[in-house]
Amino acid sequence: MSELIEIEGFTNQVLGWKAWLPTVDLDSASAEQVAVLEESHPQAKTSDYYLTLAHHPDILRQRSQAFNAIMYAPGGLSRAERELASTVVSRINRCVYCASVHAQRFEQLAKRNDVIAQVFADPATAGTTAREKAIVQFAIDLTLEPASLNTGHVQALYEQGLDETQVLDLIHAISIFAWANRLMLNLGEPVFPEA
């Protein structure tokens, strides 16, 4: 992480997350629950989030496969741009935890955090280039008014150099965060480090 950003209740620091529902106890977990945790994420066995979702191993498996395919697939939209869009969606939805995680990932990939500070301060004005501004605006529009999108929104992305595959990648990243944010916001809460 580069410099610490704390704006409007959002941060790029590493946060914890605490479940409101009981988590799966690894000592009494089924073989299927343990297997899906091992498949899902390197820290899944110690994460309240994954341990909560592991109550339904089939759903967690499908969620993890979809998430990984959308966020880490080679080609198409750059990883940094996927992380930027995810941060915007999380900021709009007020998911402090997801915004923190994906701000950090953007910074790791892009080696800068200027646009992250802008997203935290005011997403509607964020972006350091015309391409970033178009990606941010599309993420805002799809998050706030999904039924209002039309070919003009896609054309604005084409005008900034995105191709069909990149537009589809962007829509997938934005859409999966509508789901991810709702899970994080309704199953628990972020935990800030002690000062």
For 61-78, write each residue's pLDDT tens digit: 999 999 999 999 999 999
Q: Check: CB of residue 150 under 8 Å from CB of residue 157.
A: no
List, for residues 2-51, the tens digit of each pLDDT value: 799 999 999 999 999 999 999 999 999 999 999 999 999 999 999 999 99
Domain ranges of the chain: 16-72, 75-181
- The pLDDT assigned to 194 comes to 86
* Distance between CA atoms of residues 37 and 31, nearest Å: 10
CATH number of 75-181: 1.20.1290.10
- Where residue 166 falls among pLDDT bands split at 50, 70, 90? very high
